Amino acid sequence: MTTAPPLELPGWRHVYSGKVRDLYVPADTAADATPAHLLVVASDRVSAFDHVLSPGIPGKGELLTTLSLWWFDQLAGADGGRAIPNHLAADHTLRGDDPVSLIPDAVRGRAMLVRSLDMQPIECVVRGYLTGSGWAEYQAEGTVCGIRLPEGLNDGDRLPEPLYTPAFKAPMGEHDENITFERSVELVGAETAAALRDLSLEIYRRAAATAEAHGLILADTKFEFGFDDAGVLTLADEVLTSDSSRYWDAEAWRTGTTPAERMASFDKQIVRNWLAQNWDKQGEPPALPDEIVERTRERYATLLGLLTGA
């Protein structure tokens, strides 16, 4: 599909568009300079199987931004845990509104003002449950990302321990590639690889406990980290959203008897399932029917309500 050109935002210059987000730097940033801050604008675009689909999900950019900000706040200590450093500029949490004044009106509610970090090229995936590509690999090999698992597990089962299964963040246009922990050591060095793993597992455990308290299972998720100016490993990107995570209804998971009943999801699984049934993964994906768009929007909005009470 052709995506709309990025918005003109006063005071900002567009530098990059990922599948879902558009990045801007302050307009006075020199061409070869690294700015201190970035504006990350979440669009309503939805991607699956590394393709941007059409149409978007109305309001998704705002829902995901609200959810990310809520989780950054939880992980900054609102959940009672230690403060995990994050990329939000100043006190751009739900409690502070100062940096928000720098966010143009046109994108308010779906933009975050962040510190620009030295991003690490690893997608830090943590899986607490077996499904998706992990389930496919387990059926074929008995492993998930090369890690051997007990026999007899089913789609949707809880794993004995949360697994850290990193992926190499491929350059624009290429597919991310699952890698072993050893490969991540080669890519970023032993110390950083271990820090990424430990921090990812810590955040997953905390977030899964919070989700559980709201009647939700956090089945799996993906984090991205970067180093700030002071060399502090910092949580970046979106966090624990329904784009980057699988969320299931905990009650349905406990009582369901089929995988479909057990994995009543608040994420883009509806989109993935529809595409898997209606597209052979050759060429451009077909347009999403209105009904799929609406159900996805409703799931995203419900998740936000369940977690934040909004």
- Residues in contact with ligand ATP by CB under 6 A are 18-21, 23, 38, 40, 87, 114-117, 119, 172, 224, 226, 236-237
Q: Shortest approach of ligand ATP to residue 151 CB, angstroms? A: 35
End-to-end CA distance of the chain: 33
Q: Shortest approach of ligand ATP to residue 51 CB, angstroms? A: 11
Rounded to whole angstroms, how far apart are CA atoms 226 and 209? Answer: 25
The answer to whether 17 and 3 are in contact (CB under 8 A) is: yes
Q: Shortest approach of ligand ATP to residue 286 CB, angstroms? A: 20
- Residue number with CB closer to ligand ATP (119 or 252): 119
- Alpha carbon dihedral 237, 239, 242, 244, in 10-degree steps, equals 60
Rounded to whole angstroms, how far apart are CA atoms 239 and 64? Answer: 9
- Residue number with CB closer to ligand ATP (262 or 296): 296
Q: Shortest approach of ligand ATP to residue 264 CB, angstroms? A: 26
The answer to whether 256 and 281 are in contact (CB under 8 A) is: no
Q: Shortest approach of ligand ATP to residue 60 CB, angstroms? A: 12
- Residue number with CB closer to ligand ATP (161 or 177): 177
- Residue number with CB closer to ligand ATP (123 or 155): 123
Token digits for 121?
């090229």
Token digits for 82?
């230690």
Residue type, 77: G
Q: Shortest approach of ligand ATP to residue 166 CB, angstroms? A: 14
- Residue number with CB closer to ligand ATP (40 or 303): 40
- Residue number with CB closer to ligand ATP (115 or 262): 115
What separation in angstroms does the CA of 159 have from each of 30, 39, 57, 147, 220? Answer: 49, 37, 32, 12, 11
DSSP secondary structure string for all residues of 122-169:
EEEEEEEE--HHHHHHHHHHSEETTEE--TT--TTPEEEEEEE--EE-
